Amino acid sequence: MTSFDTALPSIRQVQTLIKEASSVQLKLVTGDLLAGKINWQDQNCLSLVDENKQQILVWRHAIAYLKLKN
C-alpha cells in the first residue's frame, strides 16, 4: 500500500512534475514504457496524458520507475 503522505519526498516530487507539466517516462512492471505528462496522482494511481492527449490511468503497484523524458 502506498503511503500517501504529501510531506513525503516521492509524493512531493510527483506533485512538482504535475505543476511544471514535465514530460516523463514511466516504466511499468509489464515492461511497457509510457510517455506523457502527469495531470494528477492519488493513493492508487497516476494519471498520465500522452502525446495524443489521451489519458492513461496507471496503477502505482505497476510502476517500476519514473524519469524525465530526454
Number of helical (H) and strand (E) elements in the chain, helices listed first: 1, 5
Count other Cβ atoms within 10 Å, centred on residue 35.
Answer: 13
Q: Is 9 in the site for a copy of itself (CB under 8 A)?
A: yes
Member of 6, 11, 20, 53 binding a copy of itself (CB under 8 A): 11
Give the whole-angstrom CA distance, residue 69 versus residue 37: 10
Residue 10 binds a copy of itself, judged by CB under 8 A: yes
How far apart (Å, rounded) are the C-alpha atoms in residues 59 and 19?
20
Find where cell 493513493 sits.
Answer: 43
Binding track over 22-61 against a copy of itself, x by CB under 8 A: -----xxxxxx-x-----x-xxxx-x------xxxxxxxx
Provide the binding-site residues for a copy of itself, judged by CB under 8 A: 1-5, 8-11, 13-14, 27-32, 34, 40, 42-45, 47, 54-68, 70
